[in-house]
Each structure stands twice: as structure tokens, then as C-alpha cells.
Homo-oligomer: A and B are copies of this chain.
Amino acid sequence: MTKSDYTASGVDIDAGNKAVELMKAAVKSTYSPEVLAGIGSFGGLFDAGKLKSMDHPVLVASTDGVGTKVKLAAQARRYGSIGHDIVNHCINDILVQGARPLFFLDYFATSRLVPEIVAAVVGGISEACREAGCALIGGETAEMPGVYAEGEFDLAGTIVGVIERESVLPRADIRPGDVVIGIRSSGPHTNGYSLIRKIFQDVPLETIFPELGMSLADALLAPHRSYYPLLCPVLNDLKGLAHLTGGGFIENIPRILPENTSVAIHKDSWTVPPLYDLIQQKGEVAPEEMYRVFNMGIGMVAIVAKENVSKVQQAIPEPTFILGEVVAGERKVTIK
């Protein structure tokens, strides 16, 4: 074998350093006064002094990825929007327990590091963090030839938030008679993309479907929205929140139900956006499978005591849907 250096083995330390340079300003724009050290130090430091003024702080943490939506994003070269996806997905995952985001860390790994792509992804991450008042205090960029297919990358993230112990959702008093409210998703968010990609494998992303009124790329790559600004003001009036991620209605809603409670969803209580009809028809997907894989236009579900429904609906500055109700029965969701 001839003379080796690290670049010849497929790893370019200088490309990594260039990526760090390119993303520095974006990352720093997310810093709150709580951030004591970030880029360059081994760990991110977040001043938790303010937690001392809480009655009983509980940290809430979640790690997630964006699934194979990364493949579509790479194909369409929409690197910034996939950054929004991962941050907002994580924000929503801790919001369902009532938590306010404190800080975020990202993980980006690829077959071959292109500094400009990393910078664009981290730019999107930074933007979404800034919007949520969440500091981007760390992350890792890895070049892994041979693990990732040529030209592919993966993106994951971890969020840490905080909540008063007595305010943690779901509350224990979810019971028959409570109302199930749904809030619009901005698209399939980050779920069902392996199936979506299979169904549309022969369709160019720039194809405009009349029923969608936009290109396939625009419909499929709409970034995951954050429900934090919308729901933050009403958290105290909710009994529980379920984020409709992988597993759709069927697997996510039961996660917050106590024993012997069931949820009945009425299919006609909202209009399923045309994208899902297109997916179902083109892929000949069984109707019940659709509700197990996709959010069907509803990204977040809230359980609310009957007497609080109009107060909650009025406080949320966009139309919401009364999807159904909590009933007695086996811990599951029925959709009729």
C-alpha cells in the first residue's frame, strides 16, 4: 500500500474545519446569555442557574432523526428546510410533555463531507432554534465513507427542555367525555417517507399535480412545523398532547391514555389534504394503514376537558378541529 494520510482514506479533516468555520455565525446567532461556551469546547455549557427559581424543575429530553426525508431533501437540494424539520420535530416531542426548549445539539453524518451542504443544514437548524428561543450548544459532523451510501447523509438531533414537575403532561385525569382536538400539520412532517419515496420513485420532484396546486417537491418537503408558539399559552388548559409521528394516529394517541380509556376519532371531522389521497391512490395503500403511517393532515392532537374546549380553541390563532372524544374501553384509537 502506498503512503497514507487521512484524506486518502476518505476523511478530510480540513473539510470538517471549513464546515465549522462556515456555520459559526449561524450557530452563535442562537446563543442566549445562558450559553457559556459552545463551538470549540468539548461540551456545550448551559447556565442552569435560573432553574433554581423553579419549584421543582424536570428536564425533558428527546433524540430523533428525520427519516428518509433526508433523501428527498438531498435530491431537491433543500438543505435548510431539513434543518427546520429536525429542530421542530424535537420541539414538538418535548412540548407534548409541557416542556419549553432550552438547548439543542445536532448530528450530521455523510459519506463525503461538503462544507457548503453542512453549513446550509446547520443554517436551517440555527434558524429554527432561534425562532424557538432554543440555543444550539453542540453537535457533531462526521464523514463516514462506506457506512453511508454515496452522496447520502443522515441528520439527527437532541433537545433538552424544562417543565415544572406539577405541570408535566399528560395529566392523570384524562377520562371519558374529554374532547379530542386536532391541529393542522404542514405536510407528512418527517414520517412515512420510505413509503412516499417508493410510491413516487418514477415521478420527477418538479412535477406539478393539479390536485396539489404545487410541485411534488413543495408538497413533500414542506418543513415540519413547530407547535410551541401556538400551544405554549394554553398548556395549562390541556390534559394531554400527542405528536402524530411514526405510527400515526394508531400508535401515538394511546401513548397518553390511562388504562380503560379509548379514543374515538370521526373521519369526517376534518378534510384530509389532497396529498394523502394521492399517496393512497397511487400506492394502493389500505385506508387503515394510512392512519398508522401518516398524520393525515393533523400533526398534533390535544385532549381537553369539555368545559375548556371553546377557551382553548379561541386561544389558538388558527382553525382547529374537534376530531372526537375519549370513551371507556380498551386503550386504543378507533377511526370511523
Contacts and interface: CB of A to CB of B under 8 A. Distances in A.
Interface stretch (A22-30, A115-123, A213-221, A280-288): A280-288
A167 to B, nearest CB: 12
B49 A165 contact: yes
B197 A9 contact: yes
Contacts of A271: none
Interface string A93-117: 1101101001101110100000000
A65 interface: yes
B146 A148 contact: no
A4 B154 contact: no
Interface in A1-15: 1-6, 8-11, 13
Q: Is the interface of A mostly helix, strand, loop or mixed?
A: mixed
Contact of A97 (B43, B107, B289): B43
A258 interface: no
Given A49-B57, A105-B63, A94 B4 contact: no
Given A42-B97, A51-B57, A58-B47, A67 B197 contact: no
B144 A255 contact: no
Interface in A39-91: 40-49, 51-52, 54, 56-65, 67-68, 70-71
Interface in A139-192: 139-140, 142-149, 152-154, 156, 158-162, 165, 168, 192
Nearest to A60: B43
A308 interface: no
A194 interface: yes
Contacts of A247: 13
Contacts of A9: 194-195, 197-198
Given A1-B283, A6-B194, A43 B144 contact: no
B147 A154 contact: yes
A205 to B, nearest CB: 15
B63 A59 contact: no
A2 B284 contact: yes
A234 interface: no
A20 to B, nearest CB: 11
A222 B103 CA distance: 33
A10 B97 CA distance: 31
A255 B60 contact: no
Given A48-B162, A144-B68, A289 B199 contact: no
A4 B61 contact: no
A195 B138 contact: no
Nearest to A283: B4
Interface string A234-278: 000000000100110001000100000000000000000000000
27 contacts: A6-B192, A6-B195, A9-B195, A36-B168, A43-B94, A44-B60, A45-B58, A45-B59, A47-B56, A47-B165, A48-B48, A48-B58, A49-B56, A63-B107, A68-B145, A70-B144, A71-B147, A107-B156, A109-B154, A144-B154, A147-B148, A147-B152, A147-B153, A148-B148, A148-B152, A154-B154, A158-B158
The 3 closest A-B pairs by CB, nearest first: A158-B158, A4-B283, A63-B105
